[in-house]
Each structure stands twice: as C-alpha cells, then as structure tokens.
Amino acid sequence: MSTPFTVTVFCGSAPGFDPVYVQTAAHVGSVIGERGMHLVYGGGHVGLMGTTANGALTAGGTVTGVIPRALQSREAMHDHLTELIVVDTMHERKTIMSERADAFLALPGGPGTLEELTEQWTWAQLGIHEKPCGVLNVDGYYDPFIALVQNMRDRGFTHRRYTDMLVIGDDIDDVLDRLQAYEPPTRVYQSPGAEMSSSGLPGIRP
C-alpha cells in the first residue's frame, strides 16, 4: 500500500476575529481528508489548529499531532487524533513535523506560524530539503508577507528562484495540486547569500 501524501500544516492556536479563518481551516482539513492525504500539525485542540484537525478527522482522514509537554495544557492537547506525539522541546516538535512532511502549508496564524513557515522555506533554499512550502492566502491575510518577500527579491536579498519556491494561492484545491506537482529549482553550488553577493553588483539584478 502506498504511503499517503503528508501535509504539515502551520496555523494559529487562536481562531482570529473573522469567522472566515475558522471556516477555511475546517474546509482545508476536510479537503486533506477527502483527498486521502495525511495531516501533521501541532497537536492542539483550539483555534485554527484544532479546527483543521477536526475537519480532516470528520472527512475520514488521518492526523498526527506533535506537541511539547510544556504546551499540553496551554494549547488544550487534542485527545482524539490518529497519532499524538508528545516531545520535550519545540525543536523536537519542528524536527518531527519537518521529517514527516511531503509538503508544508501555512494558514493564518501568529509569529509561531510565520517562524515555522520561514524556517522551512529557508531550509529549502539551503538544500536541507526539497519539499514545497505553501501559503493559503485567506482573505488577503498574507498580502503583507507576500509584499515583504517581493521586497527581499527586489532589493537583492534573495534570488527569484527562491521566492518562486513559495506556492501561494487562495484556493485550497489549487494549492494542494501545486504542492503535489512541485519540482524544486535547479540546485546551485553557492549558498543563497554567496550567490547574491557575487551577482549583486551595481546595475545587475538576478
């Protein structure tokens, strides 16, 4: 039996003020479950995290939660998952979520969500892995982040090949299709920083 495509979802432990965030998280979980994909997430029962997990479970999907002991009570650990992994540190949590993933997907969330997304995107740029990083831009939530990424590129702090790695969209079916079809860019010998330093001469834009 083939291993299901596994999506590690990063999202808020809060629900946000607009009901569209919770509605979208439930839909994302449902679509992941209906597609026969496996969901890996942070293990909480509250906010968008719990909503996404419940959506996948209700749709017949399988869900792995990974949660540090220190957050078991603070994030109201989900007790009805397919698999729950309790770890000692945030670093262990992120390592397991990374290793289990075939792709990463960010829904709206706070600084933790942003940190998890950008860490995996950075690792992809450095060649630590070749997994795609997706962003579901719910109701324009990630517009400022997208503008920042473009600004990094336009001001010479990253290459277009790395900004183009990000799979961004507002339709979950389209984003999941693109994550599954993703092909990493051709690897270059230089690190992203060294590459930009050697090509970032006055008048030259990569």
Return d(Cα 116, Cα 98) in angstroms, integer: 10
Query: What are the tokens at 119?
Result: 């860490």
> For 32-56, b where at least 16 C-beta lie within 10 A, e where not — what string?
bbebebbbbbbbbbbbbbbbbbbbb
Query: Are the CB atoms for 39 and 61 separated by under 8 Å?
Result: yes
User: Tokens 């009901």 sit at which residue?
Assistant: 19
Instruction: Report pLDDT for 73.
Output: 60
Task: Calculate the CA 97 to chain-centre distance.
Answer: 10
Q: What are phi and psi of 82, to 5 degrees?
A: -65, -40
Instruction: Report pLDDT for 194.
Output: 72
Instruction: Report pLDDT for 197.
Output: 73
What strand order describes the sheet that includes 103-106?
A: 83-87, 62-68, 38-41, 6-10, 103-106, 133-136, 167-169
Query: Are the CB atoms for 56 and 32 separated by under 8 Å?
Result: yes
Return d(Cα 47, Cα 16) in angstroms, integer: 8
pLDDT tens for each residue of the chain, 206 residues long: 678 999 999 999 999 999 999 999 999 999 999 999 999 999 988 999 999 999 999 999 999 999 998 876 665 667 789 999 999 999 999 999 999 999 999 999 999 999 999 999 999 999 999 999 999 999 999 999 999 999 999 999 999 999 999 999 999 999 999 999 999 988 776 666 777 776 654 444 44
Q: Given CA atoms 92, 71, 25, 160 in this order, what sign does their dihedral have?
A: negative
